[in-house]
Structure 1
Amino acid sequence: MGGAKKLKTVETVPSQSPPPNIKSTKPVKQNRKLRFAVAQFFADSFLAFLVIAGFSYTEIDWGSYMSQVSGFLKGERDYRKLEGDTGPLVNPAGFLYVFSAFQNYTAGQVYVAQVLFLILYIVNLAIVLFIYVKTDVVPWWAIGLLSLSKRVHSIFMLRLFNDGVVVTILHAALLLIMYRRWNLGLIVFSVAVSIKVDVLLYAPPLLLLLLKALDISGVLLALAGAALVQIFLGLPFLVSYPVAYISRAFNLGRVFVHFWSVNFKFIPERIFISKGFAIFLLAAHLTLLASFAHYRWCRHEGGLLNFLRSRYSKKFGKSSSPSVKILTKEYILTTLFVGNFIGIICARSLHYQFYSWYFFSLPHLLWITHYPTFLRLILFVGVEYCWNIYPSSNFSSALLLFLHLIILLGLWSAPPQYPYVQDKSSSHKDK
């Protein structure tokens, strides 16, 4: 936590008292939001229990998870030989440890596993609600949208996808990062990556936040901690079959089956699986990230290149502590959510469980835009509708992309958030 300690020495929050005879409404709004969130937490927890009690479990991946774990527990360390009914193991080592614990506790019984995933859903809900209560973007009533997804309840309790485990750990990492616990947050984030590598969609905006919040030594220390987690968890496989492990667990170029994709279903299959389409989406992804970084996330520093030049033009490792500023919770959350959302839009294939990767960020993203409330609600309902069409059609797939692009346009055209806790008069001292 070396970087975090340095931050404490430079954090300066100006005291700004309300004008005489004017009471701040912020505490009142926060209390209202907190009361609503507590009521929502208990109501949604009860709803999640009813989901298990009233709807049938659907076997998709759980049996395959158990087969993959069984091979690992029997001593197999070659990733090429760890397979299940739905195919070979493609997740890093953290997945095996987590689901080995699940198998040990549940003995593979589905109902017991559903109870575990119910608890997981409740923990995730508590973390997400806490994040929303502690930020000032979404109004109190709109956080109720977080409990209205039929698909997300299904992903957790009726399908037992590993995505439920991943997003819970991811949101814990985001909470730590939001409170600027950078080193611990990066470690927890790396644990999430060790279960499902797709979490790396958050990596580019997270790196930018690290560069803004820490000096060079702090950034390197945080990244080293994250890397050590991957090495430690993957060690049994790295020392035995390293090539098989790395190529299978961190394969970012996998081509999913066109039929099961929720997005880009309207693209002909021969184009969908082509290398050219993959390169196009990668180029679009990088272009959007660079554009948002330059024109949005670093706008108050004069753009990405100017930020990097002014922040790190001094001798390597010698940047002075006073140049380190404290990022606001809202800015941190917006940067991470938007960066991940860009990755979602540019993903060649999204399966139904992938909705959980960004559903919990939708209220925040929608209320960042300048759109009127009724349009925000239409966009939310429209996205949910598309994810509940099974199997996806050309229409639902095209509609989902259209809605995503409208949200992205709203994020691009919205007023950029001021990133720092300090007042604006001191925001350009390090330029």
Structure 2
Amino acid sequence: MAARARKKHADATCGARGTLCALWRDKHLVLFNAEYTALVTALLWFVEIGINVWVIQKVAYTEIDWKAYMDEVEGVINGTLDYTQLKGDTGPLVYPAGFVYIFGALYYMTDRGANIRMGQYLFAVFYLVTLLLVFRIYHRTQKVPPYVFFFVCCASYRIHSIFVLRLFNDPVAMMLLFASVNLLLDGRWTLGCALYRQVLLGLPFLLENPVGYVSRAFDLGRQFLFKWTVSWRFLPEEVFLSRYFHLGLLGVHLLTLLLFTLFRWRRQPQIISILFTSNFIGMCFSRSLHYQFYVWYFHTLPYLLWSGGVKKLAHLLRVLILGLIELSWNTYPSTVYSSAALHVCHFIILLLLWLAPPASVRSVDKAKRP
């Protein structure tokens, strides 16, 4: 019996060792074959736990909007449901009701917003959950070589900063978006759409002051400050603030969406391609991109680059584009050159997406209607 047990243990050890040896011999395959996405992303996810703890402990927190968030939700907690009366030290509340409920919970979990360190660790959890959701999408679609996922997580200073050093609300919104996308991939259409609906959540505020709620929570005419723009630094400030410029961007945005709808998108299952591309088009023609907006499309960039129509585009060039985009978002304050570089990278990606052939019935996106 003892001999048999030793033999089984030896066989198991040899089997595990053999698997590791095989992976080491085929390390090039592991890095470039999308079938190994789950293995590589699992390893990177555990590395990210350590990175987030290190960043929280070693890098100073910067107060930007957290106190304002807490002031805004405190007004709701104290009984104010009129959106026109809710504000923080940076201005009025301009986010939908979902923000109020989520940050209201964070208000209590962080001792009324005073325990910043607790807030940072909660946002580290949001970051890790977001990564899991993103990695699951990439595992399902299998378009991107596994080595690229290092740049999706570990290599971006700006994304870690947005999550755990600034505590912006944008990461929470993106976490919910990727959760919704995963549900759509699983064919759970009703639940996936419900996760992002705001009507029922906003009902208490709509009953109190419907015009005030809609005009504040969905204020499409809000003016952005030129000093914070990442994308349009090369323009004169008067052009940046011009309504004609804004209307021109809106027109080009809608035209680009129309062209992709007519000539590039089909009704076959290609949920990820349509969602990520339409979001990217919105980023390209946005009136302004501020630093925290980077999280709006950062995790989708590898998918877009490796889904493009130029199959012979070198891996190094694609990684270079990711690097230039990261550099543009890390340049503070933004410069004429950083903004121009960002637009050049956006144009290249948009061109690659346009050159991609229309998806066939055998689309690799596996979302199916029930």
- 2-structure distance, mates of 1:143, 1:293: 29
The answer for the alignment partner of 1:257 in structure 2 is: 225
- 1-structure distance, mates of 2:106, 2:58: 23
- 1-structure distance, mates of 2:65, 2:181: 27
Instruction: Among all aligned residue pairs of Structure 1 and Structure 2, give the percentage whose two residues are the same amino acid.
Output: 44
Letter of the structure 1 residue corresponding to residue 331 of structure 2: I
Kept in 2, the 8 Å contact 1:281–1:346? The answer is yes
TM-fit CA distance, 1:32: 2.1
The answer for the alignment partner of 1:104 in structure 2 is: 108
TM-fit CA distance, 1:75: 0.7
Letter of the structure 2 residue corresponding to residue 69 of structure 1: V
Letter of the structure 2 residue corresponding to residue 102 of structure 1: L
2:176 aligned with 1:169, yes or no?
A: yes
- 2-structure distance, mates of 1:360, 1:343: 15
**Gap change, CA 1:263 and 1:421, over 3 Å in 2:** closer
SS state of the match for residue 151, structure 1? helix
The answer for the alignment partner of 1:403 in structure 2 is: 345
- 2-structure distance, mates of 1:345, 1:31: 31
2:353 aligned with 1:385, yes or no?
A: no
Q: 1:272 aligns with which of 240, 257, 260?
A: 240
The answer for the alignment partner of 1:17 in structure 2 is: none
- Mind listing any 5+ residue stretches in structure 2 that lack a counterpart? 1-28, 365-370
Q: 1:135 aligns with which of 141, 145, 153?
A: 141
The answer for the alignment partner of 1:291 in structure 2 is: 259
The answer for the alignment partner of 1:241 in structure 2 is: 209
Letter of the structure 2 residue corresponding to residue 285 of structure 1: H
Q: Deviations over 1:141-177 (max 9, x none)?
A: 2222211211000000000000111110100001111
- 2-structure distance, mates of 1:363, 1:177: 20
2:89 aligned with 1:80, yes or no?
A: no
The answer for the alignment partner of 2:5 in structure 1 is: none
- 1-structure distance, mates of 2:303, 2:199: 34
The answer for the alignment partner of 2:126 in structure 1 is: 120
The answer for the alignment partner of 1:90 in structure 2 is: 94
**Gap change, CA 1:419 and 1:152, over 3 Å in 2:** farther
Letter of the structure 1 residue corresponding to residue 122 of structure 2: L
- 2-structure distance, mates of 1:282, 1:373: 33
TM-fit CA distance, 1:420: 4.6
Letter of the structure 1 residue corresponding to residue 148 of structure 2: A
- 2-structure distance, mates of 1:413, 1:30: 22
- 1-structure distance, mates of 2:238, 2:363: 50
Q: Deviations over 1:345-371 (max 9, x none)?
A: 010111101000000001101101222
Q: 2:302 aligns with which of 332, 344, 363?
A: 363
Give the TM-score normalised by structure 2: 0.86
**Gap change, CA 1:158 and 1:419, over 3 Å in 2:** farther
- 2-structure distance, mates of 1:337, 1:77: 35
- The correspondence of residues 1-400 of structure 1 with structure 2, limited to 5 A, is 29=33, 32-107=36-111, 108=113, 109-147=115-153, 148-190=155-197, 230-298=198-266, 327=269, 331-369=270-308, 370=310, 371-400=313-342
- 2-structure distance, mates of 1:30, 1:381: 21
**Gap change, CA 1:158 and 1:172, over 3 Å in 2:** same
Kept in 2, the 8 Å contact 1:132–1:143? The answer is no
The answer for the alignment partner of 2:11 in structure 1 is: none
Kept in 2, the 8 Å contact 1:174–1:185? The answer is yes
- 2-structure distance, mates of 1:180, 1:286: 28
- 2-structure distance, mates of 1:286, 1:125: 31
Kept in 1, the 8 Å contact 2:233–2:336? The answer is yes
- 2-structure distance, mates of 1:418, 1:380: 28
Kept in 2, the 8 Å contact 1:59–1:159? The answer is yes
Kept in 1, the 8 Å contact 2:35–2:142? The answer is no
How many residues are matched? 329
- 2-structure distance, mates of 1:420, 1:285: 29
- 1-structure distance, mates of 2:203, 2:315: 50
